[in-house]
């Protein structure tokens, strides 16, 4: 289970794991707005039989070594767990017990970003441009403009979502394997290998993780916005970490 919040590099991480062909095909299978497409592809019905949808997605979207992966964003974690509970098919225990019943031998990987200001800027740009993932076939729908209030709001949203995960891990006595975006960019293959080790997944001898298909979006515009924002909010320098 990839435990994420917006603009931390979760697509970079999940694409890297998928490319190994040994760590599942982690996607947001349980985000309601995506479920219809996934259900149609697999001949499932997420609305009428959510438990069946969960079991079917696990079966149909695992890699050949029977590893299944999925991503959940902090903002809909509570709703997702509530839907598992409402099925009555996975028991009525704690959050951890529900998840373990739905996804046996579940392991947790959390992805974070050290530079919180750059994370907020990335989200602000994505909201304005409509471009959330840079890859072939995706294009911006509008040109982003510096917006101090929007960046501040994005920083606040990120902190709230991080707190969701902090509290979830604490009350369920979970110690996730933590990946930081900056490390993933600096040493992609090495970071993916560490995640695979946590998952107890081995690559064939001599095989190395493929280069990322997702393109890093930080650019000169992001650096300009960072400087502009810091000029207006010097105290936010504490959120700028290499």
Query: For residue 4, what are the β-bridge partners?
Result: 73
Q: What's residue 207's pLDDT?
A: 83
Confidence of residue 188 (pLDDT cuts 50, 70, 90): very high
- CA 162 to chain CA centroid, Å, is 12
Mean pLDDT, all residues of the chain:
91
Q: What is the pLDDT of residues 197-224, one digit of tens each?
A: 999 999 987 787 877 766 555 578 899 9
Q: How many CA atoms lie within 13 A of 12 on its CB side?
A: 26
Tokens coding 184: 């993933």
Q: What's residue 1's pLDDT?
A: 98
Consecutive H or E run containing 62: none
Q: What are the chain's domains? A: 2-239 (3.40.50.300)
Q: How far is CA 150 from CA 75, 126, 153, 173, 203, in A?
A: 18, 11, 5, 35, 43
6: left (phi over 0), alpha (psi -120 to 50) or beta: beta
Looking at the whole model, is its pTM more than 0.85? yes
Confidence of residue 132 (pLDDT cuts 50, 70, 90): low
Q: What's residue 70's pLDDT?
A: 98
Quote the DSSP letter at residue 8.
Answer: S
**Weakest-pLDDT range from 15-29, 137-151, 180-194:** 137-151
Q: How far is CA 121 from CA 75, 83, 117, 152, in A?
A: 19, 32, 6, 9
The count of other CB atoms within 10 Å of the CB of residue 79 is 12
In the predicted model, what is the mean pLDDT of residues 58-73? 97
CB-based burial, 107-121: b 16+ in 10 Å, e otherwise:
bbbbbbbebbbbbbb
């Amino acid at each position: 289970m990839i435990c994420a919040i917006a603009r931390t590099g979760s697509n970079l991480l999940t694409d890297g794991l998928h490319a190994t062909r040994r760590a599942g095909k982690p996607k947001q299978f349980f985000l309601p707005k995506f479920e219809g497409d996934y259900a149609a592809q697999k001949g499932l019905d997420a609305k009428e039989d959510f438990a069946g949808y969960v079991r079917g997605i696990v079966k149909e979207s695992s890699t050949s070594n029977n590893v299944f992966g999925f991503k959940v964003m902090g903002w809909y974690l509570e709703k997702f767990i509530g839907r598992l509970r409402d099925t009555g098919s996975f028991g009525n225990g704690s959050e951890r017990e529900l998840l373990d019943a739905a996804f046996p031998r579940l392991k947790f990987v959390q992805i974070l970003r050290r530079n919180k200001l750059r994370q907020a800027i990335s989200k602000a740009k994505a909201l304005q441009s409509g471009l959330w993932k840079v890859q072939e076939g995706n294009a911006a729908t509008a040109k982003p403009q510096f917006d101090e209030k929007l960046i501040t709001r994005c920083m606040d949203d990120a902190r709230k979502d991080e707190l969701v995960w902090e509290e979830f891990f604490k009350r369920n006595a979970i110690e996730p394997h933590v990946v930081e975006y900056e490390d993933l960019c600096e040493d992609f293959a090495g970071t993916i290998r560490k995640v695979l080790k946590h998952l107890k997944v081995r690559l064939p001898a001599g095989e190395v993780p493929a280069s990322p298909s997702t393109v890093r979006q930080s650019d000169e515009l992001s650096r300009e916005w960072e400087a502009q924002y810091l000029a207006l909010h010097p105290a936010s320098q504490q959120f700028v970490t290499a």
